[in-house]
Amino acid sequence: MTAIPEDELEFRFFRAGGPGGQNVNKVSTAVQMRFDVVNSPSLKDGQKQRLMKLAGSRLTQDGIILITAVRHRTQERNRADAIERLQAMVDEAAVAPIYRVPTRPTRASKERRLIAKSHRSGIKSGRGKPTPGD
């Protein structure tokens, strides 16, 4: 788990719509957090590539992740929410995918499969209507 230092994060606050009554028109509670993935010294190259892929539409062409948090009524909770969401993405990107090495079936397993098929074929052919000589 890689922790992102707060000095690498840039915050911008603005007014948000939604619940909050008259407070909505006076206080800038919404948060837009920016994190420069490309120039971050706290991430390894593989993590950066996976994080940029995970970010999707939140990633700018300059390699900056934008996360907007407006879920809560207070600036502090929105800020914490944005940090939490970024940390979840970083944690997911920290795990390198395990690639499956393709294998081939063994000769014995092929033979067992063919024997089972012929056995099953015999069972099914025995289910037909009896011939007059039976």
From 58, 70, 91, 56, select the one nearest 15 (Cα to Cα).
Answer: 70
Write out pLDDT tens, residues 63-89: 899 999 988 888 899 999 999 999 999
Domains defined for the chain, CATH in brackets:
6-94 (3.30.160.20)
- The reply to whether the predicted model has a pTM over 0.85 is no
The kind and range of the H/E element at 9 are strand 9-14
Q: How many CA atoms lie within 13 A of 102 on its CB side?
A: 0
Using a pLDDT cut of 70, give the percent of the chain over it: 95
Write out pLDDT tens, residues 6-31: 888 999 998 887 666 677 777 888 89
